[in-house]
Amino acid sequence: MIEIRFHGRGGQGAVTSAELMARTAIGSGKYAQAFPSFGPERRGAPVTSFLRISDIPIRIREKVYTPNVVVVLDPSIMGVTKVDAGLKDNGLLIINSAKPVEELRRQYGFKQKIATIDALHIALEELKVPITNTVMIGSLSKALGVATPDEVRCHLEERFGPSLASRNQKAFERAYNETKVEG
């Protein structure tokens, strides 16, 4: 089983990210669950969402405390939340950042493998809004090999409708192609 924790702020799509990846996993014959955890329900407040993907039924019904992967939709959250808390030693951090990996390690003390993508830049170019959810699932898909652009396409159409789906698909594909994975 792969356990993933998403960190973002209200309105950026952390909950939608987990939901879309769960739908994609289920669509490809796997088991998945996705659910959020947040305090005050307002735009900009810290939001955490969780995703599990497995080849067998998932019986756990609790937050993800020791994830294999952590996805950071908003780099400013790293200043207020220890995003790598509980991350397994062989885990992966996927961070929305244009900064070099060495700088992220120096600034935050990260020990695990890191993948980066300038998700905000892609979101602004492709979606015309600073919502990084589909960009970050493109990065997650690339880094973990959990979904291809074709596997995600129909779920983007279901979630966003035809007019927004094509822009989200393009943002997903750019992230899939532009993500830099350490090692």
What are the chain's domains? 2-181 (3.40.920.10)
Q: DSSP of 162-178, one letter per residue?
A: HHHHHHHHHHHHHHHHH
Q: Which of 146, 153, 145, 144 is nearest to 172 (CA)?
A: 153
DSSP E strands: which ranges in 39-117?
46-54, 69-72, 92-96, 113-117
Distance from C-alpha of 98 to C-alpha of 157, rounded to nearest angstrom = 29
Q: Going residue by residue through the chain (183 aa), what tens digit of pLDDT does each one get?
A: 999 999 999 888 899 999 999 999 999 999 999 999 866 556 778 889 999 999 999 999 899 999 999 999 999 999 999 999 999 999 999 999 999 999 999 999 999 999 999 999 999 999 999 999 999 999 999 998 878 878 888 888 888 888 888 899 999 999 999 999 997
Distance from C-alpha of 69 to C-alpha of 75, rounded to nearest angstrom = 16
Quote the tokens at residue 13.
């799509």
Distance from C-alpha of 70 to C-alpha of 63, rounded to nearest angstrom = 13
